[in-house]
């Protein structure tokens, strides 16, 4: 029997929009499905234009990261860089 969580609720702050996702699903695709635009640059994780904070967890580059699968709900705090 697997300990993987089948469906994860992903909430995006500051707009408090949410959608369901699978663990490992690309974060940019999940954000798009929720109607959230995450700014991107290189799409390779080098420029950090797409950095988001997982509340209670790490800061990730959304372009190369999947939805964490260790909790039934994940909150993503969008950080914006005024230079982008």
Per-residue confidence of the chain (84 residues) as pLDDT tens digits? 445 568 999 999 999 999 999 999 999 999 999 999 999 999 999 999 999 999 999 999 999 999 998 899 999 999 655 555
Q: What is the pTM of this model?
A: 0.84
Checking phi first, is residue 43 left (phi over 0); if not, alpha (psi -120 to 50) or beta?
left
* Predicted local confidence at residue 57, as pLDDT: 92
* Predicted local confidence at residue 5, as pLDDT: 67
Q: Are strands 59-61 and 51-54 parallel, antiparallel or unpaired?
A: antiparallel
What's the CA gap between 6 and 55, in Å, rounded? 20
């Amino acid at each position: 029997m697997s300990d993987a969580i089948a469906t994860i609720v992903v909430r995006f702050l500051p707009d408090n929009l949410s959608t369901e996702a699978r663990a490992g699903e690309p974060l940019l695709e999940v954000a798009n499905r929720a109607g959230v635009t995450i700014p991107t640059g290189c799409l390779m994780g080098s420029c950090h234009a797409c950095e988001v904070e997982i509340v209670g967890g790490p800061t990730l580059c959304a372009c190369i990261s999947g939805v964490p699968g260790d909790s039934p709900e994940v909150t993503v705090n969008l950080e914006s860089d005024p230079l982008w």
